Amino acid sequence: MSTRRRVIYLDNHATTQVDPRVIAAMLPYFSEIYGNAASRQHEYGWRAEAAVERARKQVADLVGGSPEEVVFTSGATESINLALRGIAGAAAGRHMVTVVTEHRAVLDTITTLERGGLEATLLPVDRFGRVDPDDVRKSLRPGTVLVSIMAANNEIGTLAPLREIGELCRERGILFHSDATQAVGRIPVRMRETGVDLLSMSAHKLHGPKGIGALVIRSGKPLIDLTPQITGGGHEKGFRSGTLNVPAIVGFGVAAELALQEGIAGQPAIALRRDRLVGMLQERLDDTTVNGHPTLRLANNASVTFEHAKADAVMMAMKDVAVSAGSACSSALPEPSHVLQAIGVSREAAASTLRFGLSMFTTDEEIAFAAERVAEAVQGVRSRVYTAV
């Protein structure tokens, strides 16, 4: 009999539990329908290809796109690289615009491109983490080829004014990319309504499998030209060569369909649990601050600063609650969160901040337990700090 203790999972920005219905849909493609989707000479390949095309439509429907616009990748990081590097390699201009609070997949790629001669403008945000569309407008110039702004911040949950920025880009004939990894499945993201030309996403953020994502590339005029980053076979319309991961793509498609049917509608209930968690923490603990926009934010997100309680010490003190101190992709970096510092949080306070991420699987009982354990851990860390002083 297993004696493994239960751990409450509240790190759904890092990854989510795969929906059992997604797993069930994937299983036949490991052992029964295991053909290569590029094998056009027999039934195994035809069935695999049909499954991929079905998933392509499901993913497109989630973001208001068309199936032919979906290019499957290994995840949002690759999608972002394909978008930014692809545009840099194909466009005549040498200037891009982004925001200081972007995910490292954007910021690090921009830094690499700058070494090759790209010029980049990194715009500031307000104290809630929102970029001012007027700052975007002022940053645009004749050589600007791309604006890249995430739909929802992965640390503080703040939503970006995509529609206003999309209109600015459309008026100037400048391409608009959005890292919508945290947003899709949680808020309505419709590419054509927001003016987004290229959209990056990952399945594992919306209860799908890891290792599969997509770059959705707007079709129509003007045509978008990208330099491929992975060549060797011409798969995915030549944008991304390599044998397709059919089981994962099938899972991605089902997860996208479920997100469209159920995920967005379920967000108000998640927001209520999130607010309950924050309320319980603030009742028990003084000097507790919530970061991000008070209303224009993801329903499942709570970035909470606990003054005088280092995040790593708090997490060590509560092994039965899984949270994070920031982006999972930046967890190895010794520096405090660049997002929190960009909105005016001090280095010390940033190092005392935890990120809570709820999902549709989070229960009221888990919220109550987590609030109690976090409060106990913070109080314990603070008491040791005060005693040492």
Catalytic (active-site) positions: 329
Picking from 156, 89, 144, 86, the residue whose alpha carbon sits closest to that of residue 119 is 144
277 contacts: CB under 8 Å, gap ≥ 6 = 302, 356, 358, 367, 370, 371
Picking from 63, 101, 10, 2, the residue whose alpha carbon sits closest to that of residue 325 is 10
Distance CA 281, CA 372 (A): 8
Give start and end residues of each alpha helix (H) in the chain.
20-26, 28-31, 43-62, 76-90, 104-115, 133-139, 162-172, 191-194, 246-258, 267-284, 311-316, 338-342, 347-350, 364-388
Angle between helices 364-388 and 267-284 (to 10 degrees): 30
Residue type, 102: E
Picking from 300, 304, 303, the residue whose alpha carbon sits closest to that of residue 271 is 300
Tell me if 83 sits within 8 A of 196, measured CB to CB.
no
79 contacts: CB under 8 Å, gap ≥ 6 = 71, 73, 200, 201, 202, 213, 214, 215
Give how far the C-alpha of residue 206 lies from the chain's centroid of Cα atoms, to the nearest Å: 9
Distance CA 226, CA 261 (A): 32
Tell me if 170 sits within 8 A of 177, measured CB to CB.
no
Picking from 11, 157, 148, the residue whose alpha carbon sits closest to that of residue 83 is 148
Place of tokens 């808020």: 187
Tokens of 119: 């010029």
Place of tokens 């089902």: 254
